[in-house]
A and B are shown apart, each in its own frame.
Chain A
Amino acid sequence: MADAELAVGRRVGVRHRAFTRERLVFGYSLLVPAILYMALLVGVPFFFSLYLALSDASVGNQVAQYVGLRNFIAIFQDSTVRLALRNTIVFTVIAGIFKIVLGTLMAFLLVQEIPGKKFIRSLVVLPWTLPVAISALAWKWMFDPQFSAINYVATRLHLIHGWPNWLGEPGLAPAAVIAVNVWRGFPFAAIVLMAGMSAVPPELLDAAKVDGATFFLRYQHIVIPLIAPILFVGLLFDTVFTLSDISIVYLLTMGGPENFTEILPTRAFEIGIQAGALGRGAAIALVLFPILVPVVYFLLRNLRRREAL
């Protein structure tokens, strides 16, 4: 009797181990293509970039000598880099707040069943789908000191006085840059949220409705927790993307006026490519890296932990 049990137990044990190993092999082999691609096309160049930041490389001499942290020390002594760092963080945070708020509000409105929904959705998504290279130029023209369409309309509506030079005033240019970033980005936030909301089983919501939960309670206790992971990753993605994006500032102000819209990516480009000091440019581009990596790592890990519960 005991023998039989033992035999069965052992066979189950073997099958369980085989099952696990099979699962592992399957799992890793699914993951391998993505990992391999990123390792070759991002990982390897990244380590080379890291080397660049630690060397005195120039565009004409890209494999130069190791110089340790000299580039990082040099760039922190550069007041423009410090300004760029501050601008980068400030712009990203402010733009991020606006994008979340506007995106959330719009998502709620757009999931409603109203006539003309499709048409409205395709309209509000346009800022996101138009290529940034061109829409930034369009905004540049709309901010033009001579021809600004915005000023033309706003002065006639008595919303503003005088004829502000949006891209030429140190106080206004950052606002202009942030505005364009928000304009482009809030449809994305809305889309992420809408897609996330679609993952919420309607039965849960119906059950809650039957139980008497109000609109806000339903959203607070059911929808938000469920879409939180998607929302969160979307937010993280957008933040990281904004931190490293050069296009809007490059096209609108080139970092001016007087470096008031200078951000790390534009400074890195100016120094690393246009001036040719690749090592220092790499150091500027990687300035936020030591902070971002642990932060992103821990945030993502926590996300996973919470999901596992």
Chain B
Amino acid sequence: MKKCTFIFIWFVLTAVLLPACTGPRSIRPDLVNPELCRLSFYGTPRRYIHALDAELPGGVCMTVIGVSVVDPESETLQAAIMTLEGLVLFDATASSSTLQVHRALPPFDGDLFAAGLMRDVRFIFMVPADPPKVTGITDDGASVCRYQDTLGNTLDVVVYPGNGWVIEQYSSFGKKLRSLRFDTLKNGIPSMLEFEAFAPKPYALHMRLLSVEPVSPDTIN
């Protein structure tokens, strides 16, 4: 009986945990030009303004305006969230080692919110400067550049032959943390981004580009 119970628990745990920890997609190692994974929109300091349709935990949906100023070279970024009426709900600046919150109103004033949001913005607008650790091809013919950070997280940039991009981040345990999808580029920049965060609290953003412009790196403060 005890053995049966153990097997049952093992089976249930496996069934529950496996889908969450399937890990990065399997690839066949192959030579992929890393430049293929480094889209032009990752290279230049820019200011992006997006309409964000947010699907938040609990099925709550809201539409806000997101402004992101990104300098990939210095790895600094500034992000602001405002209502359609113009009320700034959140405004912060982050470098690779610092975070300065200029304004945070409820519900964006939680202790961990700022760090989490800036991490997500960094994920959306920056790819690692270092060359990929591995490159390869998936079964469905997509090219993959696989990066790994010092924490053991894996970042896959997946480029499909038909101009579709998927960027996925996995923890060192193989749990999917974030994903980003886009398929059409206008002047080298995605006009629509589909972002999803899976942990600690799942949420999704449909990001529609309203405007983009180059900026001088010293404008980020």
A and B interact: no
Interface, chain A (partner B; CB < 8 A): none
